[in-house]
A and B are shown apart, each in its own frame.
Chain A
């Protein structure tokens, strides 16, 4: 099967999944603008890195499975590695910000542990 022969229900489902996922990523990007402090802003992009990514990958796996006529789970690996590596970056950013705020004595610095 190629993309043009895709049944209409499948095409709708794939579009619904990927567009919803992209929507979550977009809301995350908006959050970067709308939220005010650094610690609030860090929350926003993880929308795209979690549910947004999961929905887009589900759509991609569904589409590939139907086109190749077998179960294609390759994309699940993208999700796995994404989920495992995101905390590293976020942790580094948060630790750096916390260190700087404490060092500079900013009023919104996190409390000492």
Chain B
């Protein structure tokens, strides 16, 4: 299993990508997609990507739900800030969040989430201290962004990429 499929997630993703690009899935396309999914990760082995292990599918589903909700909400919030005719009644600034998350893949997902929700901007992460510097566009409504990021994003990410932080 591990020799044939060194990176099962990568194989799955490549197969699905190939099938999506070459729809409809005729038998020939499916065979070709499987061949790509098997062959490319074998080539990738030369790059020695770090194996990523995903756990807790329920946490993944929950995180996707939270992410989609926050993305829509923050888009509307930022649109309101931009269209607000009186721009001065807003508090904007930097916050520092100490993170427990150390796994590079988890941090990547966190960066994608924070970037895809307008209103939060990932400025800098220090891997020695584990501190993340964020710029927040508007913290007039709820001021506790640090707790929000830790509860909503970091905790599920710690569950999903478990086994490294321990």
A interface residue numbers (CB < 8 A to B):
24, 27-28, 30-31, 34-37, 39-40, 42-44, 46-47, 49-52, 54, 70, 72-74, 76-77, 83-84, 86-87, 90-91, 94-95, 98, 110-111, 113
In addition to A37-B92, A113-B133, 18 A-B residue pairs with Cβ atoms within 8 Å of each other are: A24-B79, A28-B82, A39-B135, A46-B115, A47-B79, A49-B116, A51-B71, A54-B71, A73-B20, A77-B21, A87-B115, A94-B121, A94-B124, A95-B124, A110-B135, A111-B94, A111-B133, A113-B132
Knowing A46-B115, A111-B96, say if A30 contacts B124 (CB, 8 Å).
no
Q: Is the CB of B121 within 8 A of A83?
A: no
User: Which residues of B94-139 are within 8 A (CB) of A?
Assistant: 94, 96, 111-112, 114-119, 121-126, 129, 131-133, 135, 137
Complex formed: what's the CA distance from A27 to B84 in Å? Answer: 11
In the complex, whether B17 has a CB less than 8 A from a CB of chain A is yes
Specify which chain B residues have a CB less than 8 angstroms from the CB of A113 in the assembled complex.
Answer: 96, 124-126, 129, 131-133
In the complex, whether B46 has a CB less than 8 A from a CB of chain A is no
Knowing A72-B23, A73-B20, A111-B94, say if A46 contacts B118 (CB, 8 Å).
yes
In the complex, whether B147 has a CB less than 8 A from a CB of chain A is no
SS class, residues of chain B in contact with chain A: mixed
Complex formed: what's the CA distance from A43 to B122 in Å? Answer: 10
Count of B interface residues, CB-CB < 8 Å: 37
Complex formed: what's the CA distance from A49 to B21 in Å? Answer: 22
Complex formed: what's the CA distance from A109 to B82 in Å? Answer: 23
Knowing A27-B79, A31-B82, say if A40 contacts B116 (CB, 8 Å).
no
Q: Is the CB of A40 within 8 A of B20?
A: no
Specify which chain B residues have a CB less than 8 angstroms from the CB of A31 in the assembled complex.
Answer: 78, 81-82
In the complex, whether B24 has a CB less than 8 A from a CB of chain A is yes
Closest B-chain residue to A72, C-beta based? B23
Complex formed: what's the CA distance from A82 to B113 in Å? Answer: 13
Complex formed: what's the CA distance from A49 to B118 in Å? Answer: 9
In the complex, whether B83 has a CB less than 8 A from a CB of chain A is yes
In the complex, whether B72 has a CB less than 8 A from a CB of chain A is yes
